[in-house]
Amino acid sequence: MHSSDLDFGRRLWLAIILLSVNGAVLANKLPHDWLNHMGAAVQSTSYEGTVIRIKDGKAEALKVVHTVKDGVIMEKVVAQEGNGLEIIRHGNEVHCILPDQKSVLVEEWSDQSTLFSTLPSSDIRFGNEYDVSIVRKERIAGREAIMLAIRPHDGYRYGHRIWLDTETSFPLQAQLISEGSAIEQVKFAEIRLNHEIHASALEPSYSTEHFTWLRQPSAHAGTVVEAIWGSDELPAGFRVVSVHEETMEGSDEEITHMLYSDGLANVSVFIAAKSGKVAAGSARVGGSNSYGVEHGDFEITVIGEVPAVTVEQIATSMRQR
């Protein structure tokens, strides 16, 4: 037998073995494994593509380029409609370029990704408030993806569906689910993963030399304080993860900001002295709901990526301890 035939035979067997191993690994992966791998993939994967973002019945397309060099996140997001907004990220410094305003807004972002900083992680206490399962394989953006479903146990929180690239565990699509329907979603229409990204792809499309540069005030740091408020009807699974005294932007007004979390959904409670400025009742932006109410000498506003019933129940049950 010719030696090249032998080589071909070996390579073929090796390919079959590798495919079998890969298939077995895929079949044996647990939902938590997928979520863990997703977290790592979001941190380390370079990608370039078009994202469709749908919210409140409106869709917008964004061109996204993302890479990590020497541990520094480099990212460019360009809105494909409207005013041509561009977001250029270099590490934690983010430049939001508004070409129609001839201005650049500078912000400090501490989280990891413009698009995926807030995806669920495997740290969630699944089995208590949520269940997670692998549903099926589908194709997203021309790639094979595995669909994960995170289902809440009650009506106080939303579900999630996530489609992960089977090869890299990178999220190709994510939906926020209310009563079986998507109320927000981000989806790649096309994507290239882990290919070399040239520095020029991360440069602004506009010359910003003569633009006005504005620096966004730093985040609401506040002072850590002890919680003297609590909800009498807090939905199961939510717990306080931070309490701060903060100053309202543009004034000396002090407020208390409590953050509740069930490990996946976060809910803020803002408590201020009565001023007549509270926006009473409910409001919504996409999957985020708010509810404002007066309570004695205080005004309480609750906001979170949870159903309207949750923010209302928390707002109306807040009491001083």
Partner 1 sequence: MQVSAFVDGELPENEAELLLRRLSQDAELRQAVAEYLAIGRLMRAEPGLAGADRLHERIAAAIDDKPANAIDFAGDTPASRAVRPLAGIAIAATVALVAIFALQQTTGIDELPAEAQLPVVGVVPDIDEQEERRRQFFLNHAETSSQFGANGMNSRVVTLRFSEEVSAQGEDDELDGTDQLGDLDNPADSGEPTTQP
- Interaction with partner 1 in 59-118: which residues (CB under 8 A)? 60, 79, 82-83, 85, 87, 96, 98, 100-103, 105-107, 109-111, 114-118
Of 70 and 100, which has the nearer Cβ to partner 1? 100
> Is residue 120 a contact residue for partner 1 (CB under 8 A)?
yes
Stretch that binds partner 1, among 18-26, 200-208, 230-238, 281-289 (CB under 8 A): 281-289
Q: With H, G, I as helix, E, B as strand and everything else as coil, classify residue 60.
A: strand
> Is residue 231 a contact residue for partner 1 (CB under 8 A)?
no
Q: What are phi and psi of 234, to 5 degrees?
A: -70, 125
Residues 7-26 that bind partner 1 (CB under 8 A): none
The CA R_g of the chain, rounded to the nearest whole Å, is 23
Per-residue CA distances from 265 to 45, 90, 122 (Å): 25, 28, 14
Of 197 and 272, which has the nearer Cβ to partner 1? 272
> Is residue 215 a contact residue for partner 1 (CB under 8 A)?
yes
Shortest approach of partner 1 to residue 222 CB, angstroms? 9
> Is residue 279 a contact residue for partner 1 (CB under 8 A)?
yes
Shortest approach of partner 1 to residue 266 CB, angstroms? 4
Stretch that binds partner 1, among 12-20, 57-65, 68-76, 226-234 (CB under 8 A): 57-65
Residue 150, burial from CB neighbour count under 10 angstroms (0-12, 13-18, 19+): buried
DSSP β-bridge partners for residue 58: 55
Q: Which of 156, 243, 305, 314 binds partner 1 (CB under 8 A)?
A: 305
Q: Are 270 and 295 in contact (CB under 8 A)?
A: no
Residues 124-143 that bind partner 1 (CB under 8 A): 124, 133-136
DSSP-derived letter for residue 82 is T
Q: With H, G, I as helix, E, B as strand and everything else as coil, classify residue 21.
A: helix
> Is residue 214 a contact residue for partner 1 (CB under 8 A)?
yes
Q: What are phi and psi of 232, to 5 degrees?
A: -80, -20
> Is residue 297 a contact residue for partner 1 (CB under 8 A)?
no
Of 183 and 193, which has the nearer Cβ to partner 1? 183
> Is residue 5 a contact residue for partner 1 (CB under 8 A)?
no
Shortest approach of partner 1 to residue 319 CB, angstroms? 20
User: Residue 206 region, left (φ>0) first, then alpha (ψ -120 to 50), else beta?
Assistant: beta
The vertex-138 CA angle with 133 and 141, nearest 5°, equals: 125
Of 40 and 214, which has the nearer Cβ to partner 1? 214
Of 16 and 145, which has the nearer Cβ to partner 1? 145
Nearest to 199 by CA among 317, 74, 94: 74
